[in-house]
C-alpha cells in the first residue's frame, strides 16, 4: 500500500505502525506535530483557510468526531495527556502563565498579535463600549445564575464579612426598594404564590360572618403600604387594617410598632393575637367595636 506523507507529500510504503501510516519518517512526524515554528505557522494558516470554507454541517461533524475521539481514548492515555499538560504548565515562567491565562502577549496584544480595539476606552468616552456594556447587562438579567454558579459565589465569599457602612447601605437600598419598586412585590407575589394559612382563614371566616364584604385578605403582597404588607384591609372606604399575630412568630414583637408604622399613612390598625381566636365571642366584640370606632387613634386593644 502506497501512502502520501502528510508533511513532505512524498509517496512511501508504511513500515512502522507507530507512525499511524501518515508519515514517511519520524522526522516528518516531529516536524508536523508543532516542533518547528515555520511548519506550525503554515499548518495553522492552512487549518484556518480550511475551516473557513467548511459548511456548518462539516463543522458539526468535525467537532463531534473530536469529542468522540476523546471519549473513546483509553483512561491511561487520558492520564498521560493530563500529566503532560500539567508538566508543561509547571515548566512555564510566571510571565508565560499570565500571558496564557489572559490571552495576551507581553506587549499587551491579543493572541493574534493585534492590539484590541477597545484598549483604553470606557463607556463614557466611546459609545460602542457603552452599547456593549448595556447589552451585557441585559443578558445577565435575562440569564439568571445557575445553581453551580451560585454555589461557586458562596464558596468565593466564605470568610468575608461586609463592613458596617456596607450593611447600612444595603439596609437603605432594601428600604428604598420596598417603598418604590412595585415590580419587586409583583414578582415576589408571583414567585411565592402565597395563600392564607389556617389561622388567617379562621379570622377571615369570622370577619365575613359579622362584617360581610368589609375586609379582604391582602397578606399575599397584593397591597403594600410603605414597604410593608398588612393581613386584612377594609375595602369599603374606611382606612382600617387588621393584623394577625402568631403567638410563636411574633412573641418578641411589640404590636405598637406596627400600629405606629401605619398611622402616618392615615390607617387605623387592630392587632389580633392567635390565642384570641379561641375565644370567639370576645373577639367578635373586639372586631365590632373596632369597625364602629370613629376616633383617629391608631388602634384599640382590649
Contact of 244 with 284, CB cutoff 8 Å: no
Which pLDDT band holds residue 185 (cuts at 50, 70, 90)?
Answer: confident
Residue 56 has pLDDT above 50, yes or no: yes
pLDDT of 294 reads 42
Residue range 267-292: average pLDDT? 92
pLDDT of 302 reads 42
Residue 302 to residue 179: CA distance in whole angstroms = 32
Pairwise pLDDT comparison (36 vs 259), residue with the higher score: 259
Residue 277 has pLDDT above 50, yes or no: yes
DSSP symbols for the chain:
--EE-TTT--EE----GGGTTS-SSHHHHHIIIIISHHHHHHHHHHHHHHHHHS-HHHHHHHHHHHHHHHHTS-HHHHHHHHHHHHHHHHTS-HHHHHHHHHTB-TTS-BTTS---TTTT--TTT-HHHHHHHHHHHHHHHHSPPPHHHHHHHHHHTTT----HHHHHHHHHHHHHHHHH-HHHHHHHHHHH-----HHHHHHHHHHHHHSTTTEEE-TTTT--BTTB--SEEE-SS--EEEEEE-TTTTTT--HHHHHHHHGGGT-EEEEEEGGGGG-HHHHHHHHHHHHH----SS----
pLDDT of 14 reads 67
Pairwise pLDDT comparison (183 vs 71), residue with the higher score: 183
Residue 270 has pLDDT above 90, yes or no: yes
Residue range 209-232: average pLDDT? 90
pLDDT of 209 reads 92
Residue 48 to residue 98: CA distance in whole angstroms = 26
Which pLDDT band holds residue 112 (cuts at 50, 70, 90)?
Answer: low
pLDDT in tens, 123-165: 888 888 888 888 777 666 667 778 888 887 777 777 677 788 8
Residue 182 has pLDDT above 60, yes or no: yes
220 CB-near residues (< 8 Å, 6+ apart): 189, 192, 194, 195, 196
pLDDT of 29 reads 76
Average pLDDT over the chain reads: 79
pLDDT of 208 reads 92
Residue range 212-230: average pLDDT? 89
Contact of 261 with 299, CB cutoff 8 Å: no
Contact of 218 with 242, CB cutoff 8 Å: no
pLDDT of 217 reads 93
- Provide the whole-model pTM: 0.43
pLDDT of 295 reads 39
Least confidently predicted of 25-29, 202-206, 287-291: 25-29
Residue 108 has pLDDT above 50, yes or no: yes
pLDDT of 47 reads 76
Residue range 189-194: average pLDDT? 78
Amino acid at each position: 500500500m502506497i501512502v502520501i506523507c502528510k508533511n513532505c507529500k512524498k509517496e512511501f510504503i508504511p513500515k512502522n505502525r507507530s507512525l499511524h501510516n501518515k508519515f514517511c519518517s519520524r522526522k516528518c512526524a516531529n516536524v508536523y506535530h508543532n516542533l518547528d515554528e515555520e511548519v506550525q505557522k503554515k499548518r495553522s494558516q492552512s487549518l484556518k483557510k480550511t475551516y473557513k470554507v467548511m459548511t456548518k454541517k462539516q463543522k458539526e461533524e468535525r467537532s463531534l468526531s473530536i469529542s468522540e475521539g476523546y471519549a473513546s481514548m483509553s483512561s491511561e492515555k487520558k492520564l498521560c495527556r493530563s500529566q503532560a499538560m500539567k508538566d508543561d504548565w509547571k515548566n512555564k515562567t510566571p510571565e508565560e502563565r499570565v500571558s496564557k491565562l489572559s490571552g495576551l502577549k507581553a506587549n499587551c496584544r491579543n493572541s493574534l498579535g493585534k492590539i484590541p480595539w477597545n484598549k483604553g476606552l470606557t463607556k463614557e468616552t466611546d459609545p460602542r463600549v457603552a452599547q456593549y456594556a448595556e447589552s451585557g447587562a441585559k443578558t445577565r438579567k435575562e440569564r439568571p445564575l445557575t445553581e453551580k454558579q451560585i454555589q461557586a459565589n458562596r464558596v468565593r465569599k466564605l470568610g468575608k464579612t461586609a463592613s458596617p457602612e456596607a450593611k447600612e447601605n444595603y439596609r437603605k437600598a432594601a428600604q428604598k426598594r420596598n417603598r418604590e419598586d412595585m415590580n419587586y412585590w409583583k414578582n415576589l407575589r408571583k414567585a411565592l404564590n402565597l395563600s392564607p394559612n389556617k389561622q388567617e382563614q379562621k379570622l377571615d371566616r369570622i370577619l365575613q360572618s359579622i362584617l360581610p364584604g368589609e375586609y379582604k385578605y391582602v397578606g399575599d403582597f397584593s397591597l403594600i403600604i410603605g414597604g410593608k404588607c398588612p393581613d386584612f384591609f377594609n375595602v369599603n372606604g374606611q382606612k382600617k387594617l387588621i393584623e394577625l399575630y402568631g403567638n410563636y412568630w411574633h412573641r418578641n414583637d411589640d404590636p405598637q410598632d406596627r400600629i405606629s408604622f401605619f398611622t402616618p399613612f392615615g390607617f387605623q390598625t387592630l392587632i389580633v393575637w392567635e390565642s384570641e381566636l379561641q375565644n370567639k365571642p370576645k373577639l367578635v366584640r373586639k372586631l365590632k367595636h373596632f369597625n364602629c370606632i370613629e376616633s383617629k387613634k391608631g388602634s384599640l386593644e382590649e
